[in-house]
Structures are given as C-alpha cells and as structure tokens.
Amino acid sequence: MTETLADIANRMMAPGKGILAADESSSTIAKRFQAIGLDSTEDARRDYRELLFRAREAMSECISGVILFDETIRQKAADGTPLVQLIADAGAVPGIKVDKGAKALALSPGEKITEGLDGLRERLRDYHALGARFAKWRAVITIGDGLPTDNCIQANAGALARYAALCQENGIVPIVEPEVLMDNEGAAHDLATSAAVTERVLKAQFEHLVLAGVDLRGTILKPSMAIPGRESPVPASAAEVAEATARVLRAAVPADVAGIAFLSGGQSDEQATEHLSLINQIGDLPWPVTFSYGRALQAAAIKAWGGRPENVESAQAAFTHRARMNGLAAAGKWSAEAEKTAA
C-alpha cells in the first residue's frame, strides 16, 4: 500500500524521537570546520555526516528524520553505501533542504525574503527519486523598530505556502519553517513582544497554507519558540518561555497539523532541551511536539571529532547523548539530573 503524506509525517513525529537538521550550507559547515581547524573538503563533509548517520543508538532510538543538503543527498559513505540508505536503514526518513537562502526584501530595509521557487517542481521530482520524502524551507522574520512589516510576513508566508503545495504535489511532506529571530544584532525585544510577533506570523502562515490547498495532516511546522531577544534587558525563565510558547501555538496553529518540531535558534544545547521538555510537560496540546535541531544536536559531536578518525567513537557518543536528552524532552521527561547522570 502506498504511504500517504500523513503516514510519512506521522513517522517523523514518532514518540520520543525528533529530526536531525544536517542541512548546513557549504559556507556554514566551512565555519564550523574552521572552528576545529579543519578544511571543508567534500570528503571531510562526507566523513562528518557519515559518523552521525552511523551512530546506531542515536539514529534508531532518537532520530525520526534527517534534513540533508543537496550535496549530502547525493553522497556515498566511504564504503560506497549511499548516505540516504544509512538513514533509511536506521529507521529514519531522509529529507532535503530546498530553499536558496534569505535575501534582502526589496523596499523593506532590514528584512529578508527566502528565494528558491523557480524550478522547484523539477528539483522536488529529482529529490524524490533520490529518496527524499520530506523537505524544508526556512523564512526569517526580524523584530526591530517597526519590524516585522506586514509586507515581510505576507511575502514569506506566501512563498512557504507555494513551496508546501509543490512538495505535496510531488509526494513530499513539507516542513514549514517561519523563524522569528532572537539572536540577530540588536535583538532587544522582550518575551511578550516575541510571543505577539510569533503568533502574528503563524496566523498569517496558516491563512496562506489553507488558501494554497495544503493538507495540514501531511505538514509539519518548524517554529521558533517565544524567547526574548539576545540583547533583551528583561530575561525570561525557562518556565515562562514554555508557557508563552504553548499559548502562542494554541492560538495560532490548527489542530490538524501533523506535528510541531521546534528549531533551536540561538539557544544553547541544554536550553533548547529544557524548553522543549517544559512545553511537553504543560500537556494538553493537540499535536505531538518535538525537536528539529542542527547545532543544538551537533555542537558537542563536532568538537569531540575534531576531524580525526580516531575520535569518531567519541563524537558519536557526544551526539548520542544529546539525541537521548532531546528524546526525553520530546516526551516531557528531561531533567537536569538526567542530563548529569547520562553524561
């Protein structure tokens, strides 16, 4: 029997599991390799992604899907096995980043629009043939003096809806990611402002998705949490972040969405885990709520690896630890004690 979009989305939202974002662009992965003194060659990038995908315990027990970059979905492991096959063999769903990045939004200083719709239908067909069963498109929304504008919110929501419809037309589950930034330069907004803007963005997003005919049962939302800006003089506790985020989701996200997989944004590894767990502890949410983390899952692993083959096991152990902690958080069962005990 053919797997439906809802079936795929439900697999990606499996209890106690989440999504590994391994879709860093070439420039982003180069910066991360530079921090460990490693040149960003194609083989180095392959070796790093392979060590993650071969971390059997993490992949089979904690990871339900992996977002890949164009280069990675086409690569093979050192022994010739396609990396997509490693992911599928571990029981996770392979996915692909399809946007072309955020560019300056014309006549709207300080704001961005994500590009990549031209030729997307054909690219999605190719990615499906390569094994991708879900995709991701990220929009970025900046809070500032007079920002975000309605123009920015509507333009990005429209692009995300067009992307999502093209995905579903081609048998691919769309991850819809409208990120309200908390770590941009000058981000001094408080928790209430973050929550209000996030709610405004999400309501506009779902209006566009419904207008585009997108089946929400085969769609996953990847939002940012409601968090004060990096330079805010008014901090918020983890409990306050969780409560504000849950309120926003209830107000703005339809109940038939397949699930919510948070991005980590500018949070530390442990912050992202704690906030996710507290949101799940609130309970009474109509959708499964989990993680779709990149740096917050990988930072310790890439540092432990350092580009050295003899450090692969240490790097996999670091990745497995972070994945297990987030798996607990997806079930609302993480605690500082669990973090220390497992470490």
CA distance to 12, 39, 48, 258, per residue, from 220 (Å): 9, 35, 27, 6
Q: Is the dihedral of CA 63, 194, 336, 316 positive or negative?
A: positive
Its pTM stands at 0.97
Q: Which residues pair with 178 in a beta bridge?
A: 139
The candidate with the shortest Cα–Cα distance to 203, out of 188, 227, 221, is 221
CA distance to 65, 129, 165, per residue, from 170 (Å): 18, 10, 9
Secondary structure (3-state) at 291: strand
In whole angstroms, give the CA distance from residue 131 to residue 157: 27
pLDDT grade, residue 4 (50/70/90)?
Answer: very high
pLDDT grade, residue 2 (50/70/90)?
Answer: confident
In whole angstroms, give the CA distance from residue 39 to residue 305: 14
Q: How many C-beta atoms lie closer than 10 Å to residue 49's C-beta? A: 24
DSSP type of residue 225:
P
Q: How many C-beta atoms lie closer than 10 Å to residue 131's C-beta? A: 18
What angle in degrees, to the nearest 10, is found between the helix axes of 269-282 and 312-330? 20
Please give the tally of structural domains in the chain: 1
In whole angstroms, give the CA distance from residue 141 to residue 112: 7
CA distance to 29, 53, 128, per residue, from 84 (Å): 19, 9, 11
CA distance to 48, 113, 183, 209, 306, per residue, from 316 (Å): 10, 36, 28, 38, 12
pLDDT digits (tens, 9 = 90+) for 306-336: 999 999 999 999 999 999 999 999 999 999 9
In whole angstroms, give the CA distance from residue 191 to residue 182: 10
The residues carrying an active-site annotation are: 177, 222
Mean pLDDT value of segment 95-124: 98
CATH label of the domain that carries residue 324: 3.20.20.70
Secondary structure percentages of the chain, helix, strand, coil, to 5: 50, 15, 35
Mean pLDDT of the chain: 97
| pLDDT of 342 higher than 80 | no
pLDDT digits (tens, 9 = 90+) for 24-40: 999 999 999 999 999 99
Q: What is the pLDDT of residue 277?
A: 98
| Residues of the domain holding 196 | 5-342
DSSP type of residue 146:
T
The radius of gyration computed from the CA coordinates of the chain, to the nearest angstrom, equals 19
| pLDDT of 343 higher than 70 | no
Mean pLDDT value of segment 141-158: 98
In whole angstroms, give the CA distance from residue 180 to residue 177: 9
